[in-house]
Amino acid sequence: MKNHLWKKAAVLSLLAVILVGGTAISPKQAQAADMPYLGEITMYPYTFAPRGWLKCEGQILSIQQNTALFSLLGTNFGGNGVNTFALPDLRGASPVPNVDYYIATQGMFPTRE
């Protein structure tokens, strides 16, 4: 019974926000960039990695072939830091079935502002 009341309250709250004209996320925030930031992690419902992305499965990568990405991640997720580094391993962490985490291996280098 409590669970049903909680769901009803959540739906009514969302309806009130919609009727008043507000949104939880502004349209400007919801728009994706033309090009992702290097190292950006997002979720996709694909069975394959799109071009410029890799699944976050703890893979060991070559520093020489991925210097920019290594400069952001370092050895935080593994690797020896001389020749190799690892991507985060987010297998099984998805809150949604059949959706996986992917990391951008190509894109804009993030700046500090």
- Rounded to two decimals, the pTM is 0.69
| Residue pLDDT, tens place only, 39-79 | 999 999 988 999 999 999 999 999 999 999 999 999 999 99
- Residue intervals in the chain for CATH 3.90.1340.10: 32-113
3-state secondary structure of 106: coil
| Residue pLDDT, tens place only, 80-96 | 999 999 999 999 999 99
- 32-113 CATH: 3.90.1340.10
DSSP 60: E
| Per-residue pLDDT band at 27 (split at 50, 70, 90) | very low
Q: Which whole number is the average pLDDT over 98-106? A: 95
Residues 6+ apart with CB under 8 A from 41: 56, 88, 90, 101, 102, 103, 104
